[in-house]
Amino acid sequence: MGCGLGPDRLRAGGHAQHEGYSGRRTELLEWMVESLHNFLDGIIGHHLVHKTFWFFATIFIFILFSNWSADSRLRHGRMGSSNRACFEVQDPLFRGANADLNMTLAMALIFFLCWIVWAFQEVGPIGFLLHLFAPKGDTTGFLKVLMVVVFFAVAALRCSPFSSGRFR
């Protein structure tokens, strides 16, 4: 049994089924989740949205609300100094979730692992390797062998330290 917000509980009309009171906050949250679901459906398709929506919605809502809580206009508690002209924040009580490399790196690594799992589930290990390394299009003969060599060279360069952008 779910919590009430999710694509599996949506009716044909697009509104979640409720047992009880539905306030403005609930409607706002439903609108946000449904809009995000429709937005992702238009980009990555219905099949992948059904599989990955939980991840993208969680990350989107987490980043949105953590950055809103870090906004100086939305904070209630501040530590700083005040004079007649303005209030200067010296030590903010909340910081944005992406203010440090820790959270950004953690979210990137989690997405990378999820992407690997989803890709393997969709096309399998052979399809995964063919998508990354195999030549695309209708090539035959010597040109196909040459393209395989080129694709493996590009793949090796992708994994090398020269691909990090330091030598631009």
Instruction: Residue 167: give the domain boundaries.
Output: 134-168
- 159 within some domain: yes
In the numeric block, which tokens belong to residue 38? 């429709």
Q: List, as own/partner pairs, every contact residues 102-107 make where C-beta atoms lie below 8 angstroms and the sequence separation is at least 24, other chains included.
A: 107/59
pLDDT digits (tens, 9 = 90+) for 51-87: 999 999 998 888 888 877 776 554 544 555 556 666 5
Q: What pLDDT was estimated at residue 11?
A: 47
Task: Name the domain count of the chain.
Answer: 1
- 81 within some domain: no
- 110 within some domain: no
- In angstroms, the CA 10 to CA 53 distance is 14
Q: Which residues of 80-95 are buried (b: 16+ CB within 10 A; e: fewer)?
A: eeeeeeeeeeeebebe
User: Is residue 2 scored above 50 in pLDDT?
Assistant: no
- Predicted confidence band at 124 (pLDDT cuts at 50, 70, 90)? very high
- 161 within some domain: yes
Lowest-confidence segment of 2-6, 52-56, 102-106 by average pLDDT: 2-6
- 9 within some domain: no
pLDDT over 70 percentage in the chain: 66
- Least Cα distance to 36 among 73, 1, 66, 63 occurs for 63
Q: What pLDDT was estimated at residue 12?
A: 46
- 165 within some domain: yes
- In angstroms, the CA 51 to CA 60 distance is 16
- Predicted confidence band at 16 (pLDDT cuts at 50, 70, 90)? low
Contacts of 17 (CB under 8 A, 6+ apart): 4, 9, 11
Q: What pLDDT was estimated at residue 89?
A: 57
User: Is residue 49 scored above 80 in pLDDT?
Assistant: yes
User: Is residue 120 scored above 80 in pLDDT?
Assistant: yes
pTM: 0.56
- Predicted confidence band at 144 (pLDDT cuts at 50, 70, 90)? confident
User: Is residue 168 scored above 50 in pLDDT?
Assistant: no
- Least Cα distance to 38 among 75, 82, 13, 7 occurs for 7
- 74 within some domain: no
- 79 within some domain: no
